Every structure is written in structure tokens, then in C-alpha cells.
Amino acid sequence: KAGVTQTPRYLIKTRGQQVTLSCSPISGHRSVSWYQQTPGQGLQFLFEYFSETQRNKGNFPGRFSGRQFSNSRSEMNVSTLELGDSALYLCASSSGQRGYGYTFGSGTRLTVV
Amino acid sequence: DAKTTQPPSMDCAEGRAANLPCNHSTISGNEYVYWYRQIHSQGPQYIIHGLKNNETNEMASLIITEDRKSSTLILPHATLRDTAVYYCIVSRVTGANNLFFGTGTRLTVIP
């Protein structure tokens, strides 16, 4: 079956702009999580959605937001981009059942100039 | 979620077993031990997880001590493609599913 699909793969934006990233989970998976990876901070949890509801949120400013649609596809949005937002943004999906592993996408590489 | 401690780096000869340790002394009864790995510039890949019994799959074996305060991931016959950063994570069974990645162990498989 198809894996987790993230689009676009690469993105270059200017400071102050906003960006929307998309994630299509594995068919049947209802949980989608987002992570930010930077060389300095490593992999950090942003938020998780389950059945269109945000179930948990990491320690990121309100400029980072997300949503999940009824087909489980998810988007994350970053407004008023800063240089420090340059990172690899990873999406992961799971069935949502406790104790099951996550499948990650290949990520979106965002560069803010 | 409980924190984990892993050595920053390890080397392993190709074809030999790679044993990656992880300390999670503050793990609680409702937390699983997960292992993921990340090959450069790719998304993390799930390897294996366990609660208290040892586990084995086609990729690796997971040995969890009886007190659950530490675990070892075993790659039985390491290949060059196993060179990656390996993350040991503990995560709650109940509540929201989110993974707290530490700095992991950078495993280098040497020809």
C-alpha cells in the first residue's frame, strides 16, 4: 500500500510569508502527527491530529497551526515565516491504536530566505 | 514521557551484530519502548517496539531488561545500509501519541 505522502518536497519562501504543507497518511490511518527537524534542535513534535481533532500539541508558537480533513489528510501552516523556521518538516501517520508505530513521510524541506 | 539516554555514536563491522543500548530508568508501567532509525535526509523508519517482553521481527530484536529500565536493539548482521541514527523512545500507551526524539546513536557500519 502507498506510504505517507508529503507535498511539496522542497520549498523556498521569504521571511514574513506564510506556507502550507500537505500530508496524506496511509489509507485507513486516522492519526497524523507533524515534526520539525533542524540541525540544532533535532526532531521536535509539533502536533497530532486524530479524527479531525487536535489531540496534542508541542511547544511551538501560535504561528504554527494545522488541521485534519475528514479523509485524514492533514495540512500544517506556518504564518509570518522566520529564518529559524527553515527545517525539514515530517509527517507521520498511524492507526491511532495504542502501542503501534508511526510511518513517516520523506518530509518537506522548507528554506526561508 | 520518560527520557532516554543513548551513546552518541557507535561503530560496527559489516556482518557482525550491532548492539545499541538505551537507558530509560524513569520509564513507567504504561510506556512502550520504540526504536526508529533515520538515514540521512529521510524520514525516520520504525524498527520495533515492546512493552516488557523481548521482541523480534525481520529487522531487529529488542531486549528489555526485567526491570524495564534499559533495553538493547540488536541488528543481527549489520550491513552498510544500516548506517543511520538510531532513536530509542518511550511513549505512553494511554493519552495522545507523540514521540519525543532525543539525540540518538549514530551507528556507522564499517566495511
Instruction: Convert the pLDDT of each residue in B5-52 to its tens digit.
Output: 999 999 999 999 999 999 999 998 888 899 999 998 789 999 999 998
Cβ-defined contact of B41 to A88 (cutoff 8 Å): yes
Region B80-100 average pLDDT = 81
Instruction: Give residue B2's pLDDT band: very low, low, confident or very high (50, 70, 90).
Output: low
CB contact, 8 Å: A102 with chain B? yes
Q: Quick one: what percent of chain A has pLDDT higher than 70?
A: 95
Cβ-defined contact of B44 to A48 (cutoff 8 Å): no
Q: Is the pLDDT of residue B93 over 70?
A: no
Q: Which of B31, B47, B97 to mutate to test the interface with A (most CBs of A within 10 A)?
A: B97
* Residue A52 Cα, gap to closest chain B Cα (Å): 14
- Convert B48-63 to b/e letters by CB count within 10 Å (16 or more is b): bbbeeeebeeeebbbb
Instruction: Single out the residue of B42, B39, B101, B33 nearest to residue B73, CA to CA.
Output: B33
Cβ-defined contact of A99 to B98 (cutoff 8 Å): no
What would the pLDDT profile of A84-110 be if each residue is shown by its tens digit? Answer: 999 999 999 987 666 567 899 999 999
CB within 8 A of B61, min separation 6: which ones?
B48, B54, B55, B73, B74, B76
Instruction: Give residue B95's pLDDT band: very low, low, confident or very high (50, 70, 90).
Output: very low
In this prediction, residue B22 carries a pLDDT of 97
Cβ-defined contact of A99 to B51 (cutoff 8 Å): yes
What would the pLDDT profile of A58-86 be if each residue is shown by its tens digit? Answer: 999 999 999 999 999 999 999 999 999 99
* Nearest chain A alpha carbon to B35: A101
CB contact, 8 Å: A94 with chain B? yes
In this prediction, residue A68 carries a pLDDT of 97
Which of A43, A50, A98 is closest, CB to CB, to B101? A43
CA torsion sign for A40, A44, A46, A49 is positive
Which of A48, A88, A98 is closest, CB to CB, to B94? A98
Cβ-defined contact of B96 to A101 (cutoff 8 Å): no
